[in-house]
Amino acid sequence: MPLGPRPSDVPRIRKTLTVYKVSSYITGFFLIALVVMMVTRYGLGGDIELGGQDGFLALTPQADITGVNVSTIILIMHGWFYVLYLACDFVLWRLLRFSFGRFLLIALGGVIPFLSFYFERTVPSFVEARLAQIEPKEVPA
């Protein structure tokens, strides 16, 4: 059996690719927010607080937060969207049968800032090229 996507998997691949594109943007956004949060937490010594005693938005030491801890929300949101990003990466890897190294490389998109935006452009073109190899060519009548 030749390695590559099966024609019966094309609809699932296209749906997964759509979810992948959206999740890569959201994961990339939250990763950038996570980097900002890490700079504020470890560089400036405070978490981002919303609606606390110091005003609408403030940097507050973690122990003194009385409002909403935006830093924790950023951590949680990035984590869950990265799980969705990895799930899409896994499904594409399984259905397209590309190398495990490519799977790991794409997985780095949710860990290295701005890489998910690059992969949002390159992965769909790679997938479309693979699908073009197996889809029947339309013959003009």
pLDDT tens-digit readout, 108-129: 988 999 998 999 899 999 888 8
pLDDT at position 141: 54
pLDDT digit string, tens, across residues 60-97: 888 888 888 899 999 999 999 999 999 999 999 999 88
pLDDT at position 18: 93
pTM score > 0.75 for this model? yes
- Report whether pLDDT(31) > 50: yes
Distance CA 128, CA 22 (A): 17
Higher pLDDT, 89 or 8: 89
- Report whether pLDDT(4) > 60: yes
- Report whether pLDDT(1) > 50: no
Please count the other Cβ atoms lying within 10 Å of the Cβ belonging to residue 101.
8
Phi first, then psi: what are they for 107, rounded to 5°? -60, -30
As a whole number, the mean pLDDT across the chain is: 87
Q: Where are the domains of the chain?
A: 7-130
- Report whether pLDDT(135) > 80: no
pLDDT digit string, tens, across residues 11-26: 898 999 999 999 999 9
